[in-house]
Amino acid sequence: MKIEIFENPVDLGKTAAKYCAEIINEAIARKGEARVVFSTAASQFETFKALIELNIDWTKVEVFHLDEYIGLPEGHPASFAKFLEDRFLCSVTVKKAHLIDGRGDTKKVIEYLTREIRKAPIDLGLIGIGENAHIAFNDPPADFGTEESYICVALDDVCKQQQVGEGWFPTFDDVPKQAISMTAHQIMQIKRIISIVPHAVKAKAIKATVETQLTNMIPATLLKKHPEFLLLLDKASASLLDSSKLQ
C-alpha cells in the first residue's frame, strides 16, 4: 500500500486523474485497449471532472462500475448508472459501458456482468471507501469467501445513513434495502487499484483501514493485500491517522 495526502479534494482529484490517465494510456499503447472499473460516489466528483479533460482515447476504453441499488425508479438522481452518465459518459465516447440495471431481473443482470467482466483482465479500478469502510456495497461483515463477480447484498444502516448525508435520498427509509455489488474477490482481481477518499466524514474509516489488520468487519482492509494499491487522501480524511504508522 502506498498513501499520498493532498491539501484538498480538488488537488486530490486532479492528481488522481493524472494517475488514471497514465495507467489507461499505457494499457492502450500496450494492447490497444483498456478496461476500467469506476466508483460512482460523491467522493469521486473532482476526479471525474479532471479526468474528462485529459488526453485519453476513450473509444478504446471499456467501462464497468461497482454497484447499483435494486429497484430505483428510472432516472432517480441516486442511481449510480445515472451518476456515470451525467458526470462522465455524456462528455466522452467510450468503447462500451456496462451499466448495472437495478430495475431488471437481478439474476440475469448478474449473469451478464459476470460474463463481461471475466472476458479479460481489468487494468484499473477506482475503488472508493465508505464511511463504514465498505468497498463497493460490501458492507461489514463483508463476504471475503465468495468467488462470484457480482452479488445481491443488503445495505447496513451506516451505509444507508451515508447516502442520506450525501443528499442522495431525503430520509433513511427512502434508501433501498438491497443493491447489486461487485464482490471483494472481483475487486482484488483488478491489476491496479486507486482509492480516492477525501472529506472528514471518511476519517474514521481511513484510520480503521490503515491501522487495522485484515478483517471483514472493516472491508477496506482487504485492499492492503493488493500488490498495486494506492490510497489517495486529503488532509481532512487523513486527519486521524497516526503519522508513525505511515512510515
Interior angle at CA 139, CA 102 and CA 153, nearest 5: 35
Grid cell, residue 236, equals: 481532512
pLDDT digits (tens, 9 = 90+) for 139-153: 999 999 999 999 999
Q: With contact defined as beta carbons under 8 Å apart, do 163 and 169 qualify?
A: yes
Looking up residue 61, the CATH number of its domain turns out to be 3.40.50.1360
What's the predicted TM-score (pTM) here?
Answer: 0.94
- Per the structure, the count of domains in the chain is 1
Closest of 172, 221, 193 to residue 66, by C-alpha: 193
pLDDT digits (tens, 9 = 90+) for 53-102: 999 999 999 999 999 999 998 889 999 999 999 999 999 999 999 999 99
For 128, the domain range is 2-246
Residue 82: the pLDDT is 93
pLDDT digits (tens, 9 = 90+) for 13-55: 999 999 999 999 999 999 999 999 999 888 899 999 999 999 9
